[in-house]
A and B are shown apart, each in its own frame.
Chain A
Amino acid sequence: MGGLYDADTGLVRFGARDYYAKLGRWTSKDPILLDDGTNVFAYVGADHVNWVDPEGLSKSPSPALANASLRGSGFTPKQVKPWQRPGSLPPNKGNSNKRFSEDKQALVDMAKQDQKSGMKKKDMDAYKELNRQLKDPFPSNKVRGPETHPERPHGKEPHGHVGPVDHIPILDYP
């Protein structure tokens, strides 16, 4: 993983957030990526330069990250709360715990977070754009939406799909 501080954006960049910064889409997003049961082993594994998990109970910024400037991101290490063990995520038809390439996994991790909090229509567009930029993208019909399909209870409300992460609520659609 690259450097910790991006002088152009003023953000500390780590893991999935790097992608958001490129599109200018995630800069206002709550940066607590793992406060909801996301597979932290996976996350830390993807960004072990910036995060450490010395006891296997909570992730902490590495000393380098803690000392870096956090201007503009709204992020402080204090916001990191104890993470929950894997297994508390809502069920997906696909295997959302499968590990992908680093870039692809970052996309999946972002989608998992949005599955909890919901997203906007423009975020769905961003996911499609990000997927197009991957070296090994998901098929186009696995990054789709907005969609509704009232035949199924889970399909009544507008939502999107991003790879193995299904039914991400779209809050501002139509």
Chain B
Amino acid sequence: MHDTLFFRYWNAAISELDIRACILPKIEMKDGSMVEASILLPQFGAKRGMLLFSDYEIVAPYYIELSTLGYGISIIEDPLPGEVFELSNYIELLKDWGWSNHGRPQPDWLAE
């Protein structure tokens, strides 16, 4: 699973931009079930960070609960066949989500 383009491209962006990430994080819901996201970016988008899912169906039953817990959510599909990695696309996306790690200054590339 980690060898998909989705993870390879995100790993490249995370590495290039030197940001924190958690791969395949599991979050326990009130009913005891575990929700597994593709990636958690704890410094962006919401108090507890952005959860990325490739499939809407995974998150749909827990969307409100996850939001209440302080997570941002985004459904992003795998890169399309032939899609080329472009760091600028990831920077644009992260700028849109916004820096949420208020205890630390945001990186310079985010402010540019």
Binding site for B on A (CB under 8 A): 93-94, 121, 125, 128, 131-132, 137, 139-152, 155, 161, 166, 173-174
Instruction: Report whether A144 and B74 are in contact in the complex, using a CB–CB cutoff of 8 Å.
Output: yes
Question: Taking beta carbons and an 8 Å cutoff, which residues of B are in contact with A?
Answer: 44-47, 50, 56, 60, 63-64, 67, 72-80, 83, 86, 89-90, 92-93, 95-100
Nearest neighbor of B77 in chain A, beta-carbon distance: A140
Distance (Å) between the CB of A168 and the closest chain B CB?
13
- In the complex, the answer to whether B77 meets A149 with C-beta atoms within 8 Å is no
Q: With A132-B80, A147-B75, A155-B72 as given contacts, are A141 and B98 in contact (CB-CB < 8 Å)?
A: no
- CA A174 to CA B95, docked complex, whole Å: 24
Are B96 and A166 neighbours in the complex by a CB distance under 8 Å? yes
25 A-B residue pairs with Cβ-Cβ distance under 8 Å, sorted by A, are: A94-B92, A137-B80, A139-B79, A139-B89, A142-B89, A142-B93, A143-B77, A144-B74, A144-B75, A144-B77, A145-B75, A146-B56, A147-B73, A148-B67, A148-B72, A149-B44, A149-B72, A149-B96, A149-B98, A150-B67, A150-B72, A151-B47, A151-B97, A152-B96, A155-B72
Contact A141 B63 (CB under 8 A): no
- What would 19 more interface pairs be, CB under 8 Å, given A140-B78, A152-B96? A139-B79, A139-B80, A139-B86, A140-B77, A141-B93, A142-B89, A144-B74, A144-B75, A144-B77, A146-B75, A148-B67, A149-B45, A149-B50, A151-B98, A155-B45, A155-B96, A155-B97, A166-B96, A173-B63
